């Protein structure tokens, strides 16, 4: 059984909502099969959170012998350790850890609390070699370790405050301090908690801004990759072997997908940071503009748009334009090869149609439906999750588009419902309250 303070460490990491997303992003962007956050002390190595795609066998709360890990060395000398290929690495070729755990690639960076104390590591392993010494991978791990550190420090401070508050309350009850003293002390504590909450909100706001700015910075090395690949394709393509051309095509495909991912992440962030200025807008005008923007996506396809009377609605124009863009573009991406695509956009005024809707309120219901490849209805909630893409053909989806749609709907105090039938089509119904 783990001691209480280690259980608290695991709980603190679990309470950082972005951790599962960070571990998922690490595995998706690096190709590593296992990623984890570990609590590391002088004599203990304990898993706090895990993304395990290679059945390594660890879950939160599991433990490895500290001396069998490279993390023990990182604890003593808090610097990242990165291994692309153990077989070719001079320093770690004969190291006991890769041999014991059958790994070929490894990356681990220290997680340092804001007071400078060592908490543990953010690490990833895989039984096959991977390219981990690239600048963008190192920077991503450093950024994620800092984000975890910020959130962890805030949570630990909050836990400490609650413990102090509990102890003080118990002491006050035990010693029967006069009522006015109790009220004064509680008032002081309440003020401190309010100030702490304000501080935490400010910290989270700064972290979100930090994420947003960092996403911009990620684009610079990507632009250079795309510039150099364009140059090679233009000037050196004839000199490449068939194998080289195939590898080169994979590089361009990966760069293109990363560009789409960064763009979608920026849009995802923007839907939270945008000033929420509501204005009465003609939805048909917005829909026509969106279809015109998507011309390149369907000019060589047999597509029919049935845009019915959508009416006017008080919306955040930029966000609602993005909502319609994502949903219509989703229909274009997942058209069926067996029939011409028909995309229908309609609207009506309704009330308690869903359990979530108040029967006393009126809602502007906008429906976007198609006759594409559809999806299994059992995934109707999962598809709105971050990085959830049910169809995994290359370049079709980054798994963020519908997450953006859901956030925009929530920004409008509305609800969204997804309905799908495999090989028949998909329908998304949006309910926006009419004030």
Same domain (yes/no): 422, 336:
yes
Is residue 161 a part of any domain in this protein? no
CATH number at residue 290: 3.30.565.10
Q: Are residues 128 and 183 in the same domain?
A: no
Does 172 reside within a domain? no
**Residue 327 within a domain:** yes
Q: What is the pLDDT of residue 272?
A: 55
Query: Which pLDDT belongs to residue 387?
Result: 46
Task: Specify whether 128 is located in the same domain as 99.
Answer: yes
Low pLDDT (below 50) residues in the chain: 273, 387-388, 392-395
Quickly count helices (H) and strands (E) in the chain.
11, 13
Q: Are 53 and 34 in contact (CB under 8 A)?
A: yes
Query: Which pLDDT value is given to residue 377?
Result: 87
pTM of the model: 0.45
**What is the structure's pLDDT at 393?**
46
3-state helix, strand, coil in the chain (%, to 5): 50, 20, 30
Q: 269, 289, 322 — which closes off a domain?
A: 269
Residue with tokens 């972290």: 207
Reading the block at residue 152, the tokens are: 């962890």
Residue the block writes with tokens 């681990």: 108
Residue 146 lies inside a defined structural domain of this protein: no
**Hunting for tokens 């959508």 — which residue is that?**
310
Last residue of a domain, one of 132, 158, 190: 132
* One domain, residues 104 and 184: no
pLDDT at res. 342: 95
- Whole-angstrom distance, CA of residue 385 vs CA of residue 20: 12
DSSP letter (8 states) at residue 239:
G
Residues 311 and 388 in one domain: yes
Tell which of 68, 102, 132 closes a domain.
132
- Does residue 359 share a domain with residue 300? yes
**DSSP secondary structure, 359-395, as one string:** TTS-EEEEEEEE-SS---GGGTTGGGSTT--S---TT
d(Cα 44, Cα 2) in Å, to the nearest integer?
11
Angle CA 314–416–361, to nearest 5: 55
The answer to whether residue 210 sits within a structural domain is yes
- Shared domain check, 287 and 425: yes
Q: Would 15 be classed as within a structural domain?
A: yes
Same domain, 128 and 195: no
Is residue 413 one of the residues assigned to a domain? yes
CATH number of the domain that residue 104 is part of: 3.30.450.40
Residues 245 and 333 in one domain: no
Q: Are residues 18 and 88 in the same domain?
A: yes
Q: How far apart are CA 422 and CA 373, in angstroms?
A: 6
What domain range includes position 218? Answer: 177-269
- Domain identity same for 321 and 356: yes
Number of structural domains found in the chain: 3
Residue 392, pLDDT score: 46
> How much is the pLDDT for 67?
94
343 and 259 in a common domain: no
pLDDT in tens, 359-409: 768 889 999 999 999 888 888 778 876 544 555 444 455 567 788 888 889
Helix, strand or coil, per DSSP, at residue 34: strand
User: How high is the pLDDT of residue 395?
Assistant: 43
Q: Which two tokens stand for residue 56?
A: 């390594």
């Amino acid at each position: 059984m783990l001691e209480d303070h280690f259980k608290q460490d695991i709980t603190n990491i679990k309470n950082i909502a972005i951790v599962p997303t960070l571990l998922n992003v690490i595995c998706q962007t690096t190709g590593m099969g296992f990623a984890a956050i570990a609590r590391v002390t002088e004599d203990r190595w304990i898993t706090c959170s895990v993304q395990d795609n290679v059945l390594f066998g660890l879950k939160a709360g599991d433990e490895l012998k500290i001396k069998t890990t490279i993390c023990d060395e990182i604890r003593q000398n808090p610097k990242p350790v990165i291994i692309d290929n153990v077989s070719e690495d001079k320093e770690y070729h004969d190291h006991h850890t890769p041999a014991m755990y059958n790994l070929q690639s490894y990356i681990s960076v220290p997680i340092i609390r804001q007071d400078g104390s060592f908490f543990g590591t953010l690490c990833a392993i895989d039984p096959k070699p991977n390219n981990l010494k690239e600048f963008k991978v190192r920077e991503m791990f450093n950024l994620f370790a800092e984000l975890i550190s910020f959130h962890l420090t805030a949570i630990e401070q909050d836990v400490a405050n609650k413990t102090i508050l509990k102890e003080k309350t118990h002491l006050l009850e035990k010693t029967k301090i006069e009522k006015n003293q109790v009220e004064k002390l509680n008032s002081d504590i309440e003020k401190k908690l309010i100030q702490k909450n304000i501080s935490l909100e400010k910290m989270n706001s700064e972290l979100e801004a930090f994420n947003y700015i960092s996403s911009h910075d990620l684009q610079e090395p990507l632009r250079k990759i795309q510039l150099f690949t364009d140059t090679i394709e233009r000037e050196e393509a004839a000199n490449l072997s068939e194998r080289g051309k195939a590898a080169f095509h994979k590089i361009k495909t990966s760069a293109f997908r990363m560009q789409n991912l960064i763009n979608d992440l920026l849009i995802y962030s923007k839907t939270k940071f945008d000033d929420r200025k509501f204005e009465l807008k003609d939805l048909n005008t917005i829909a026509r503009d969106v279809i015109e923007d998507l011309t390149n996506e369907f000019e060589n396809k047999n597509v029919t748009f049935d845009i019915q009377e959508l009416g006017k609605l008080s919306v955040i124009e930029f966000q609602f334009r993005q909502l319609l863009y994502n949903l219509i573009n989703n229909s274009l991406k997942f058209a069926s090869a067996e029939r011409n695509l028909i995309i229908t956009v309609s609207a009506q005024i309704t009330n308690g149609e869903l359990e979530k809707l108040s029967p006393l309120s009126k809602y502007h219901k906008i429906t976007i439906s198609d006759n594409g490849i559809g999806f299994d209805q059992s995934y109707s909630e999962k598809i709105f999750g971050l990085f959830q893409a049910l169809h995994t053909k290359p370049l079709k989806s980054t798994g963020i588009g519908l997450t953006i749609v859901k956030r925009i709907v929530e920004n409008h105090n509305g609800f969204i419902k997804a309905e799908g039938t495999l090989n028949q089509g998909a329908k998304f119904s949006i309910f926006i309250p009419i004030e």
